[in-house]
Structure 1
């Protein structure tokens, strides 16, 4: 009931995104049911039917990705102050978000079932003069358990993915015991502080460690040795503490840290100088891309093997190769987005370039993954267009529906990720406007980010598509 109320009270933009999820679910469900109808009408070729069902993995993945992006940007299930007091904690909001996704996907599956039954002629007469009856098995009874299993596949996967991605996480993870560290000459302890050069050899520098019980020798304090006069005041670095008899202050070289240098540590605190988490996946992405291109090159000259129940092995290899290439692009795109932000700030950047570059670096992971999926879809479409022979290749209705579904879901996911990034920067944008930044500069920075991403990912997509289609073109 709470999920229904939150769904009903949402804004029109949120409702539009949920309707996009329902439309993607409807298209994917219709493709799955069409694969079932083809298998029923062609029982002599189970390999081709299995291949049609395997190709439905791509639109299912695109629809699940869109559902996850929409769930992330849903303002109704976002944690807010005071909700935990009425029983709406992070776990409850995660469950509500998963239930909302399941409702949207179930609505789309029901629409797909109604359309499938209408085209088969189960509800009314055969439409379009019965042209769709050959691949929908209109002359056979529909197996209800198989149809329901295929229709519940997408809602179950989408809701489970949303629940896994939005699960509550502990912001303060527990830390274990401090690791035992070893110092000079085999001395050991638990202090993470490093000694400076020559600190061990100074007279009286280890008296505080002997009294503190480090290493298991005694439980006294460092001030107990202060009245001996054995530790000069200026030998060891640290702050001066008063002795036990109120005499001259002495130094504790173990517990008192050295005063930091005035210019150390400030450069590492800047966002542009910290090691980026988005760039960590770039080597793995390049390696996965190379593996996918190797699979495409290995199967480039191979032919189908008719002995395996008419299963086109070449098409299966193409599907596996493109899946590996897509995974590589998704892994490498956040690092490329971070690199694009760094290139915008190269040289002596002004305020516009600096703002655009820092935003790209901050949103590299959020925007990079949908960009990688879009590059994979675009490169696959370009390669398929190159491999087709003839001036005007003929595409069937199911192929056209699948291509439109995957492309639409990918573009919608990228736009939804951009909306999520804009929502996360709402406080920063408001602060810049309060400081007097013109709104035209913010719009120019957004246009500059889009142009920079297009200039980097456009040629990159064309190169990947040419390399993937090169073995089969020759």
Structure 2
């Protein structure tokens, strides 16, 4: 009840972020239900239905990451003093944030269930013309075949349960939470993230494994579809691709810290020094979401390139929905991390303005930080995508 009251009294921007979580949960829930409908309508194609279910892992993970990012930026999660006065400790605050996340995800999954039943024709007596307008064939959803209600509930429950678990882990009470920020800052002021060499090593190992496993795995003179080329590839190829993508995620904080050090290199002026110090300080907060964004961008580029080389058909509507959910979630997670970083240094920005720094300086510093991240992360993401794609091309 308290979570519902806090949701009703939240700022419109907070409600908008929660609505975005509900939309992502709706898209993921619809994809999960579509796999169940395909399995019900094609009982002899169990392998294809299993592959469709495995592909839903990406939007499910992206939705969970978005839910955790939105929960971290929720103002209610930062009101520790007021919540403590009301009798809510750190553990209950975490449970409250998890309840809010569950409420948003349940709303999205309910919407997904209604849309799924409407497109199948279970609600309204006939298949919806909207499905044809969207390019979704009702046969893909198993129209005319009964769908097990318990199975649908089990699949839909995976969305809120995963999001709640991710939120609880992200907001779990830490032993160092009671240490004042002013006392904890000097100990970590000169220490940067240590994941850059490990991430680059994992990426290089993944590309090497993929190249080694792809030798002799040709198409034997026959054309291969996108699914055949991806799923039918040797396990080492897919494992190497996954390792190369994981390396970008691990190297994200180190890459952001490296951008800050490059801005501060030489004899920097006030603008470069301010931008570089902010990136170094916020590298741990910004690095992981940006690493995930780079990994998704790299995987998307590789998938599109392999698809263009393997098939002349356009992407199906379910593939477009899954890709849109993943891209939107990781982009929104990176933006949420940027908002969290901005809130964390609000006192510093206010002090600079009191000292006479104009707002234009702060805006130019933000633009310089964004430009440095694009210059460093953009070519690296493209290079990893190109190297990971070569073994999969015909």
TM over 0.5: yes
Match of 1:342 in 2: 261
Alpha-carbon separation, structure 2, partners of 1:470 and 1:87: 58
- Higher Rg: 1
How far residue 164 of structure 1 moved from its aligned partner, in angstroms, is 1.9
Match of 1:212 in 2: none
Give the SS at the match of 1:65: helix
8 Å CA contact 2:41, 2:142 repeated in 1: yes
8 Å CA contact 2:80, 2:90 repeated in 1: no
**Residues 340 and 312 of structure 1: is their aligned pair in 2 closer, same or farther, counting only changes over 3 Å?**
closer
Match of 2:355 in 1: 435
How far residue 407 of structure 1 moved from its aligned partner, in angstroms, is 0.7
Match of 2:156 in 1: 151
Give the SS at the match of 1:14: helix
Match of 1:74 in 2: 74
Match of 1:290 in 2: 204
Alpha-carbon separation, structure 2, partners of 1:127 and 1:326: 39
Alpha-carbon separation, structure 2, partners of 1:269 and 1:412: 31
Match of 1:410 in 2: 330
Larger RCO (CA within 8 A; separation ≥ 6): 2
Structure 1: gaps of 5 or more residues: 175-267, 305-309
How far residue 472 of structure 1 moved from its aligned partner, in angstroms, is 2.2
Q: Which one of 298, 301, 309 corresponds to residue 382 of structure 1? A: 301
**Residues 314 and 39 of structure 1: is their aligned pair in 2 closer, same or farther, counting only changes over 3 Å?**
farther
Q: Deviations over 1:155-191 (max 9, x none)?
A: 01111121122111223899xxxxxxxxxxxxxxxxx
Give the SS at the match of 2:140: helix
Alpha-carbon separation, structure 2, partners of 1:44 and 1:106: 32
Give the SS at the match of 1:83: helix
Match of 1:167 in 2: 172
Match of 1:314 in 2: 233
* 1:398 and 2:314 matched: no
Structure 2: gaps of 5 or more residues: 180-184, 220-227
| Structure with greater proportional helix content | 2
* 1:449 and 2:363 matched: no
Alpha-carbon separation, structure 2, partners of 1:289 and 1:361: 23
**Residues 161 and 317 of structure 1: is their aligned pair in 2 closer, same or farther, counting only changes over 3 Å?**
same
Alpha-carbon separation, structure 1, partners of 2:158 and 2:315: 27
8 Å CA contact 1:326, 1:372 repeated in 2: no
Match of 1:126 in 2: 127
**Residues 63 and 322 of structure 1: is their aligned pair in 2 closer, same or farther, counting only changes over 3 Å?**
farther
Normalising by structure 2, what TM-score? 0.89
Give the SS at the match of 2:233: helix
**Residues 172 and 79 of structure 1: is their aligned pair in 2 closer, same or farther, counting only changes over 3 Å?**
closer
Match of 1:275 in 2: 191
Q: Which one of 284, 304, 322 corresponds to residue 365 of structure 1? A: 284
Alpha-carbon separation, structure 2, partners of 1:34 and 1:294: 36
**Residues 93 and 315 of structure 1: is their aligned pair in 2 closer, same or farther, counting only changes over 3 Å?**
farther
Q: Deviations over 1:328-386 (max 9, x none)?
A: 11111110110110000011001100000000001111111111111111111211222
Normalising by structure 1, what TM-score? 0.74
